[in-house]
């Protein structure tokens, strides 16, 4: 099975080299035949969110053509938006279907771990998971990351608590706070609020050693937020970085 | 950049300046909002523990709204007949200006005293300002709205208009208008001072004005939820009582109305509100010879002004009619990251992501609403919280397509498009 890795150019643009390196390193360690999608259309998903209707169909088609031309059997990405767009929006809006399954990297790793349990070193730390809004809230993709982290010996996984989630018969991750990564895109002046309303309100009270989001955009928000808040006790760590670090 | 583009950019720049200066750089706002969110979540938890069936209310509430919005014109007609049958006066206002003119006619010659209850619909039409310009003395009587009035601000939340004020700031404002030196660290003394100040206005008032949470078409009955008791007095003491209500508030029956009222208050932060008023007409008595005589102790005149202002068009638009399901409980805003980030400066007349849609289609028009529409993080947390399960982010994305076609997209996004997608 040949795996095409999407979203790497955006990770590079954000300066998330650690995430890029850990994904490729993990895929190698897992023995996956993979290819980085080097000439994918940047931010094509954003055209759908921002209403650029004159080009959104065109760039989505371009993504499809380029992806299918690679001969890959599966596409994976650390960003959830592309997964969601091909699952619901593009088929509904333009009748566009991608000829290759497209899943989030957490789902891919969870599936691979089910086939063959990894040998991981203990990680005796508290790790806070932020479930990305698209992957978590919109696609109900909470379980894959929980499954993946369940293979990590001695880890203590923390998640955002919400006082009414249980009463409302919802997964607590449905209420997960956005760490504010979108602000970097439009309103960087409001960084103080990321600090106050995510890092200090949500992350710090949980008192984790490490924190990461399932979504690469969310993770970028966490990295920024911790930096703005000048918090050094909590280290940002994407889950692929964590796995790569303890892989034996 | 064309003149039109410059104009659009100015709207965005003003918005950015406002949310940064009034929001991001304001330390006290953060304190106030944090207190409000924690308090909201705690109260909702209490309400859901006491009344776990609230969760099941939501589905039925949504069905009632779906039916009502699909049968709006029929329900307006039914409401009119019921109000007239009850010896009330029914008015229909096509837009905000017409609503204000109708109400000014009802109020009469200048120099009248008017007491108002909190109402987003009157904010939409800017009724208080309109009546003040006509020479009337108008008082907002809800405490939060009173604070908005005395600081010449705008409501920051659907139900808690002064959610952005700390107790210290509130005490300072109230001290100024009442001439009392109120302690800054106490809330009760501020509340007492306003109570005393407004008592006089209530007794002098010629007209009381409020909105309503729901209208039952079959009886023409207004349902109004409140805690302070100000609407109780405003709708009882003056000779005239006027309710300005958006047409989307109508539902078919009294039972439907009560169901929505209960759903609203549960998710609006109350275990149970102190008051739920049902008002169907002017005050009356039949105590002498069983002959109905109007104008007993309460208002002699009852006026219901139904406001369209774009709502009927939205009701026919399958892409956006869901926005009319909003009961204005304000629950979504306590979970909205942008409401936090912009310190409540998210939305123009109607706050929040759902407010951006209301602004665009009803209150301000698309050009003014554009900055709020592009502020939404489309994270969908509001939908999770909304008792009506309103898919705000889906509508926001659809609206952005319209704004883009109309040229209301901010320059930074246009530049991104041009950079990334040349050719």
Instruction: Tell whether B320 is covered by a domain.
Output: no
Q: Are residues B361 and B303 in the same domain?
A: no
Which pLDDT belongs to residue B29? 76
Q: What is the pLDDT of residues B357-410, one digit of tens each?
A: 999 999 999 999 998 998 888 889 999 999 999 999 999 999 999 999 999 988
Q: What is the pLDDT of residues A113-143, one digit of tens each?
A: 999 999 999 999 999 999 999 999 999 999 9
Instruction: Name the residue among A64, A84, A79, A60 with its Cα closest to residue A14.
Output: A79
For A194, the closest chain B residue by CA position comes to B341
For B399, the closest chain A residue by CA position comes to A51
Instruction: Tell whether B59 is covered by a domain.
Output: no
Question: Of the candidates B34, B41, B337, which has its C-beta nearest A164's C-beta?
Answer: B41
User: Residue B345 phi/psi, 5° resolution?
Assistant: -90, 45
Instruction: Tell whether B61 is covered by a domain.
Output: no
Rounded to the nearest 5 degrees, what angle is found at the Cα of B189, between the Cα atoms of B188 and B191? Answer: 65
Q: Are residues B120 and B31 in the same domain?
A: no
Q: How far is A196 from chain B (nearest CA, A)?
A: 8
Question: Of the candidates B25, B380, B404, which has its C-beta nearest A133's C-beta?
Answer: B380
The larger pLDDT score, comparing residue A194 to residue B100, is at B100
Give the mean model confidence (pLDDT) for residues A197-226: 92
Label residue B35 by pLDDT band (50, 70, 90).
confident
- CATH number attached to the domain at A121-246: 3.40.50
User: What's the pTM?
Assistant: 0.91
Label residue A188 by pLDDT band (50, 70, 90).
low
| B35 Cβ under 8 Å from any chain A Cβ | no
Instruction: Tell whether B179 is covered by a domain.
Output: no
Q: Are residues B140 and B287 in the same domain?
A: yes
Q: In this model, does residue A189 exceed pLDDT 90?
A: no
Which pLDDT belongs to residue A184? 52
Q: Which residue has the tokens 């275990």?
A: B271
Q: What is the pLDDT of residues B310-365, one digit of tens each?
A: 999 999 999 999 999 999 998 998 888 888 777 777 888 898 999 999 999 999 99
Instruction: Show residues of chain A in contact with B416, CB under 8 Å.
Output: 43, 46
**How far is CA A9 from each of CA A14, A65, A78, B33, rounded to the nearest angstrom?**
9, 18, 11, 38
Label residue B95 by pLDDT band (50, 70, 90).
very high
The larger pLDDT score, comparing residue A32 to residue B40, is at A32
Most confident of A188-202, B142-156, B276-290: B276-290
Instruction: Show residues of chain B in contact with A52, CB under 8 Å.
Output: 404, 417, 421
Label residue B24 by pLDDT band (50, 70, 90).
low
Instruction: Show residues of chain B in contact with A192, CB under 8 Å.
Output: 24-25
Question: Residue B341 and residue A197: Cβ atoms within 8 Å?
Answer: yes
Instruction: Show residues of chain A in contact with B417, CB under 8 Å.
Output: 47, 50, 52, 55
Label residue A3 by pLDDT band (50, 70, 90).
very high
Same fold, A2-111 and A121-246: yes
Where are the domains positioned within chain A?
2-111, 121-246
Contact criterion met (CB below 8 Å) for A23 and A105 = yes
| B284 Cβ under 8 Å from any chain A Cβ | no
Which pLDDT belongs to residue A208? 98
Q: Are residues B260 and B407 in the same domain?
A: no
Q: What is the pLDDT of residues A42-86, one digit of tens each?
A: 778 888 888 888 888 999 999 999 999 999 999 999 999 999 999
Q: What is the pLDDT of residues B180-196, one digit of tens each?
A: 999 999 999 999 999 99
Q: In this model, does residue B422 exceed pLDDT 70?
A: no
Give the mean model confidence (pLDDT) for residues A215-229: 89
Label residue B34 by pLDDT band (50, 70, 90).
confident
Question: Of the candidates B23, B341, B404, which has its C-beta nearest A180's C-beta?
Answer: B341
Q: In this model, does residue A157 exceed pLDDT 90?
A: yes
**What mean pLDDT, rounded, does chain B reach?**
92
Question: Of the candidates A42, A50, A164, which has its C-beta nearest B44's C-beta?
Answer: A164
d(CA B1, CA B9): 10
Q: How far is B72 from chain A (nearest CA, A)?
A: 29
Label residue A181 by pLDDT band (50, 70, 90).
low
Q: Which residues pair with B113 in a beta bridge?
A: B137
Question: Residue A49 and residue B397: Cβ atoms within 8 Å?
Answer: yes
Q: In this model, does residue B104 exceed pLDDT 80?
A: yes
**B positions 316-355 inside 8 Å of A (CB):** 335, 337, 340-343
Instruction: Tell whether B423 is covered by a domain.
Output: no
Q: Are residues B302 and B336 in the same domain?
A: no
For A51, the closest chain B residue by CA position comes to B401
d(CA B223, CA B212): 6
Query: Of B258, B282, B312, which marks where a domain is finished?
Result: B312
| B403 Cβ under 8 Å from any chain A Cβ | yes
Q: How far is A28 from chain B (nearest CA, A)?
A: 31
Which of B360, B421, B422, B423 has the most A C-beta neighbours within 10 Å, making it the best mutation to test the interface with A?
A: B421
Question: Of the candidates A51, A59, A201, which has its C-beta nearest B401's C-beta?
Answer: A51
Instruction: Tell whether B55 is covered by a domain.
Output: no
d(CA B126, CA B332): 24
Instruction: Tell whether B56 is covered by a domain.
Output: no
Q: In this model, does residue A187 exceed pLDDT 70?
A: no
Q: Are residues B146 and B291 in the same domain?
A: yes
Contact criterion met (CB below 8 Å) for A165 and A131 = no
Q: In this model, does residue A16 exceed pLDDT 80?
A: yes
Instruction: Show residues of chain A in contact with B401, CB under 8 Å.
Output: 51, 53
Residues 6+ apart with CB under 8 A from B256: B64, B68, B216
Label residue B172 by pLDDT band (50, 70, 90).
very high
| B164 Cβ under 8 Å from any chain A Cβ | no
Q: Are residues B215 and B302 in the same domain?
A: yes
Q: Are residues B375 and B245 in the same domain?
A: no
Query: In this structure, what token pair is assigned to residue B239?
Result: 């000779």
Q: What is the pLDDT of residues B219-273, one digit of tens each?
A: 999 999 999 999 999 999 999 999 999 999 999 999 999 999 999 998 887 788 9
Label residue A87 by pLDDT band (50, 70, 90).
very high
Which pLDDT belongs to residue A50? 87
Instruction: Show residues of chain B in contact with A59, CB under 8 Å.
Output: 421
Which pLDDT belongs to residue B243? 98
Give the mean model confidence (pLDDT) for residues B286-290: 95
Q: Are residues B224 and B86 in the same domain?
A: yes
d(CA B412, CA B384): 30
Q: Which residue has the tokens 């200048």?
A: B110
Which of A167, A193, A221 has the most B C-beta neighbours within 10 Å, making it the best mutation to test the interface with B?
A: A193
Q: Are residues B390 and B242 in the same domain?
A: no
Tell me the residue range of the domain where B41 lies: 3-50+330-416
Q: Are residues B10 and B151 in the same domain?
A: no
Tell me the Ramachandran region of residue A119: left when phi exceeds 0, alpha when psi lies from -120 to 50, beta otherwise: beta
Q: In this model, does residue B12 exceed pLDDT 80?
A: no
Question: Residue A186 and residue B374: Cβ atoms within 8 Å?
Answer: yes
Most confident of A43-52, B87-96, B158-167, B404-413: B87-96
Q: In this model, does residue B161 exceed pLDDT 90?
A: no
Q: What is the dihedral of CA B275, B280, B286, B287, to 10 degrees?
A: 10
Question: Of the candidates A41, A43, A164, which has its C-beta nearest B45's C-beta?
Answer: A164
* Beta-sheet strands, E only, within B117-266: 137-140, 207-210, 214-216, 221-226, 240-246, 250-251
d(CA B204, CA B197): 12
Question: Of the candidates B24, B337, B378, which has its C-beta nearest A177's C-beta?
Answer: B337
Give the mean model confidence (pLDDT) for residues B274-300: 96
- CATH number attached to the domain at A2-111: 3.40.50
Contact criterion met (CB below 8 Å) for B213 and B264 = yes
Q: In this model, does residue A186 exceed pLDDT 60?
A: no
User: Residue B315 phi/psi, 5° resolution?
Assistant: -60, -25
Tally of domains in chain B = 2
Question: Residue B24 and residue A192: Cβ atoms within 8 Å?
Answer: yes
């Amino acid at each position: 099975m040949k795996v095409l890795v999407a979203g790497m150019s955006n990770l590079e643009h954000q300066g998330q080299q650690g995430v890029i390196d850990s994904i490729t390193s993990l895929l190698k360690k897992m023995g996956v035949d993979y290819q980085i999608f080097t000439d994918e259309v940047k931010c094509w998903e954003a055209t759908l969110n921002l209403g650029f209707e004159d080009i959104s169909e065109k760039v989505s088609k371009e993504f499809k053509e380029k992806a299918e031309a690679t001969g890959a059997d599966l596409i994976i990405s650390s960003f959830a938006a592309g997964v969601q767009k091909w699952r619901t929006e593009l088929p509904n809006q333009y009748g566009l279907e991608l000829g290759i399954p497209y899943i989030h990297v957490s789902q891919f790793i969870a599936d691979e771990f089910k086939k063959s349990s990894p040998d991981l070193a203990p990680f005796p730390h508290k790790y806070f998971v932020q479930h990305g809004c698209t992957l978590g809230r919109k696609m109900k993709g909470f379980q894959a990351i929980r499954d993946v982290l369940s293979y990590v010996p001695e880890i203590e996984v923390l998640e955002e608590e919400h006082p009414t989630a249980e009463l409302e018969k919802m997964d607590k991750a449905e209420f997960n706070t956005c760490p504010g990564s979108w602000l970097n895109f439009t309103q960087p002046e409001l960084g103080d609020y990321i600090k106050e309303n995510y890092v200090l309100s949500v992350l710090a009270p949980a008192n984790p050693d490490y924190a990461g989001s399932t979504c690469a955009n969310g993770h970028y928000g966490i990295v920024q937020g911790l930096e703005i808040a000048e918090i050094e006790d909590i280290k940002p760590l994407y889950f692929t970085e964590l796995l790569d670090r303890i892989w034996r | 950049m064309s003149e039109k583009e410059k104009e659009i950019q100015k709207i965005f720049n003003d918005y950015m300046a406002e949310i940064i200066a009034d929001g991001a750089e304001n330390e006290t706002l953060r304190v106030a909002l944090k207190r409000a969110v924690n308090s909201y979540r705690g109260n909702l938890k209490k309400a859901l523990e006491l009344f776990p069936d609230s969760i099941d209310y939501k589905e039925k509430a949504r069905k009632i709204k779906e039916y009502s919005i699909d049968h709006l014109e029929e329900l307006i007609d039914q409401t009119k007949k019921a109000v007239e049958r009850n010896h009330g006066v029914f008015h229909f206002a096509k837009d905000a200006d017409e609503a204000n003119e109708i109400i000014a006619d009802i109020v009469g010659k200048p120099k009248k005293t008017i007491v108002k209850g909190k109402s987003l619909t009157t904010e939409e039409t800017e009724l208080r300002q309109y009546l003040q310009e006509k020479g009337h003395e108008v008082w907002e009587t809800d405490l939060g709205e009173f604070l908005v009035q005395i600081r010449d601000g705008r409501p920051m939340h659907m139900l808690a208009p002064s959610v952005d004020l700390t107790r210290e700031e509130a005490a300072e404002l109230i001290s100024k208008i009442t001439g009392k030196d109120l302690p800054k660290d106490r809330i009760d003394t501020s509340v007492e001072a306003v109570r005393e100040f407004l008592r006089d206005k209530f007794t002098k008032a010629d007209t009381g004005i409020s909105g309503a949470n729901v209208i039952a078409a079959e009886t023409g009955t207004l349902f109004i939820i409140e805690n302070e008791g100000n609407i109780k007095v405003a709708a009882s003491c003056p000779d005239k009582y006027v309710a300005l209500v958006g047409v989307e508030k109508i539902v078919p029956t009294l039972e439907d109305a009560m169901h929505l009222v209960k759903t609203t208050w549960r998710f609006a932060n109350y275990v149970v509100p102190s008051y739920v008023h049902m008002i169907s007409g002017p005050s009356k008595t039949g105590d002498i010879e069983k002959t109905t005589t109007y104008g007993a102790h309460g208002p002699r005149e009852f006026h219901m002004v139904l406001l369209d202002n774009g709502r009927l068009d939205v009701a026919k638009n399958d892409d956006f009619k869901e926005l009319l399901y909003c009961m204005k409980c304000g629950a979504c805003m306590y979970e909205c990251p942008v409401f936090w980030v912009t310190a409540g400066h998210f939305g123009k007349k109607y706050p929040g992501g759902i407010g951006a849609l209301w602004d665009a289609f009803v209150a301000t028009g698309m050009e003014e609403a554009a900055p709020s529409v592009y502020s939404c993080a489309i994270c969908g947390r509001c939908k999770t919280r909304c008792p009506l399960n309103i898919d705000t982010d889906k509508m926001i994305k659809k609206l952005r397509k319209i704004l883009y076609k109309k040229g209301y997209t901010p320059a930074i996004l246009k530049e991104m498009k041009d950079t990334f997608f040349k050719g």
